[in-house]
Amino acid sequence: MPARPLVLFPDPRLTRPAEPVDAFGPSLQALADDVRDTLMAESAIGLTAPHIGVPARLVVVRMSPNESARIYVNPVVSWASPETATHDEGSVSMPGVRERIARPARIRLSYRDLDGSAREAETEGFPAAVLQHEIDQLDGVFWIARLSRLKRERLLKRFEKGRPA
């Protein structure tokens, strides 16, 4: 499948909650392939269906170039540690800016695979931050909403300065 165009900030689709996936089959596989191919073309770590304009709860993550992409359908954080960790975050939908965000250091998530089978996984550190970032996107929480008002305003100014006129 070809890579699809990205939805770019400040498109309002980036702040709308995605719809749960209830049909598992060839069309879901095709969507997952498109999200994966777009992730690879953008050299991203994580990407959601809303990033390519499809309001479905689907995440694709590939932590390193030599790793296979992992697909999460309808992911939900079912538990988060009280301890936090801070990591640099950004978005392919808002290129050129990054900021440090604190999130729970460890999480457990529930999700479905492409066949619709229920799964659970636990992760920590940077992979946990990536999954939380992408699940936020599915919930309509664009990553800059996690910043203080002051940090968000500064980041938006940096972003505007870096955009072509």
What pLDDT, in 10s, does the model give residues 6-64? Answer: 999 999 999 999 999 999 999 999 999 999 999 999 999 999 999 999 999 999 999 99
Domains of the chain are 12-162 (3.90.45.10)
Model confidence pLDDT, tens digit, residues 87-100: 999 999 999 999 99
Q: What is the pLDDT of residue 77?
A: 98
Which amino acid is located at 157 in the chain? K
Active site residue 153: no
The tokens describing 16, both together, are 């709308």
pLDDT of residue 165: 58
Q: Which of 19, 120, 134, 160 is catalytic?
A: 134
**pLDDT for position 1:** 58
- Buried/exposed 79-111: b ≥16 CB within 10 Å, e otherwise: ebeeeebebebbbbbbeebebebebbbbbebeb
Please provide residue 164's backbone torsions phi and psi, each rounded to the nearest 5 degrees.
Answer: -65, 145
* The overall pTM is greater than 0.75: yes
